[in-house]
Amino acid sequence: MPELPEVETIVRSLRGKSPGDGILNHPIYRTTLSWEKALVEPQPALFSHCLLQKSIGSLNRRGKFLVFDLAPWTMLIHLRMSGDLRYESTISDPLQKHDHLVIEFDNHTRLVFNDPRKFGRIWLTHEPEHVLSQLGPEPLDEQLTQEKFYAMLQTKKQRIKPLLLNQSFIAGLGNIYTTEALFRSKIHPLTPACQLTKDESGILLQSIRNVLEDGIRHNGSSIDWAYRGGNFQNHFSAYGREDQPCPACGNPITREIIGQRSTYLCPVCQPQKVLSE
DNA sequence: CATCAACCCTGAGAGC
DNA sequence: TGCTCTCAGGGTTGAT
């Protein structure tokens, strides 16, 4: 389930190690879309035509979106749960199950979008901001200061964990990294956001950044069959560790459903605050 | 505004 | 072995 570190890892890998090595700056020779529901816009019939002879000038990440500059177009891809992208140096190998989009370049390489659960989505638009402007700030952006983050939390009565998963509040966090950041912060996932103190909110922002940077350093997490690049899954403290000992205190990690999502926590390290008078 | 349930999907794993 | 059932989860939508 690609979150910010996994998407960042994919972006860096697709760009290539050196110029000419990756997907950048090769004219598109042919595009094949075999699962049309993945395409949000434009109409499928227009998609291939729009991309013909265009080149990917740059590839960046915004939240969990991949942003391909294909002037005058921008292609956005969101991998959702099980999407993956791979760049192949041949166009003759047989395609794999669940390959839904193939972009072939004129140097006989190809970019392939694979997505078993078919939740991933693709946009090709002149106005990427219509989609991207819905996103909250980038957690790793230094412009997001501790003061700003504290002020953002102060305006929300929501429980902190579902709030952090809301991409319009902050962009790029999913269930894994939210769970890990709250564990490192020793904050209970049900804490109302506006009840976090300034100190706690500072610790939380720093924990979010640390866990994302750790994830990127390990090339992301390989969970289930989606995205098999990294090994950060071997470094989880709480996520997926129900009944296993908390790495900090040794008490068992528990699991509960919060906002329809599995949440793992250490009830000793992350106690629920009791309101006192 | 906050919360929740359903939905979109497939494959893995459990149970039989 | 092979069948059926349940579950996971990001984001959207609609209901409460």
pLDDT tens, position by position, A95-116: 988 899 999 999 999 999 999 8
Q: Mind giving me the DSSP string for A189-205?
A: TTSBGGG--HHHHHHHH
* 3-state SS, residue A215: helix
Alpha-carbon gap, residue A134 to A270, rounded angstroms: 31
Taking residues A61-71, report their average pLDDT: 95
Whether nucleic acid strand C comes within 7 Å of the CB of A163, the answer is: no
State chain A's mean pLDDT as an integer. Answer: 90
CA pair distance A74, A246, nearest whole angstrom: 44
Return the pLDDT at A221. Answer: 77
Residue A225 contacts strand C, CB under 7 A: no
Annotated catalytic residues of A are: 2-3, 64, 261
Within a 10 A sphere around the Cβ of A240, how many other Cβ atoms? 16
Q: Say which nucleotide is closest to residue A166, CA to C1' distance.
A: C11
Using left for φ > 0, alpha for ψ between -120 and 50, and beta otherwise, residue A20 falls in left
Q: What is the pLDDT of residues A194-240, one digit of tens each?
A: 999 999 999 999 999 999 999 999 888 776 545 556 788 778 899 98
- Minimum-distance nucleotide, CA of A165 to C1': C10
Confidence of residue A53 (pLDDT cuts 50, 70, 90): very high
The per-residue pLDDT for range A120-130, each reduced to its tens digit, is 999 999 999 98
Per the CB < 8 A criterion, the answer to whether A244 and A253 are in contact is yes
Bridge partner residues of A59 (DSSP): A68
Average pLDDT, integer, range A177-200: 94
The pLDDT assigned to A277 comes to: 36
